């Protein structure tokens, strides 16, 4: 009886340990994936914002240059 009980206890303990390890690994993987996705999204957003800012700056500069040329005629 003792041997069977020990084996059952060992199996249960092993299963619990496996589950805990799996959960931790899953959480770590999820966090890493989230971080990578966040970084990619941040980079894309930064690029879009940079492009928009560049376009706006270019338009303003073009307008100012055009006004300056008209005023100096």
Give the distance from CA 41 to its chain's centroid: 6
Take residue 33 and report the two structure tokens written for it.
Answer: 């994936």
Distance, CA of 5 to CA of 56 (rounded, Å): 75
Give the distance from CA 6 to its chain's centroid: 46
Confidence of residue 66 (pLDDT cuts 50, 70, 90): confident
pLDDT of residue 68: 80
Distance, CA of 56 to CA of 10 (rounded, Å): 68
Q: What is the pLDDT of residues 18-55, one digit of tens each?
A: 999 999 999 999 999 999 999 999 999 999 999 999 99
Q: What integer is the mean pLDDT of 47-71?
A: 88
pLDDT of residue 2: 67
Domain ranges of the chain: 1-55
pLDDT of residue 4: 72
């Amino acid at each position: 009886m003792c041997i069977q009980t020990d084996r059952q206890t060992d199996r249960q303990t092993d299963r619990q340990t496996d589950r805990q390890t799996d959960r931790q690994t899953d959480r770590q993987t999820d966090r890493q994936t989230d971080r990578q996705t966040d970084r990619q999204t941040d980079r894309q957003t930064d690029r879009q914002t940079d492009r928009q800012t560049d376009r706006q700056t270019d338009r303003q500069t073009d307008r100012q240059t055009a006004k300056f040329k008209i005023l100096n005629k």
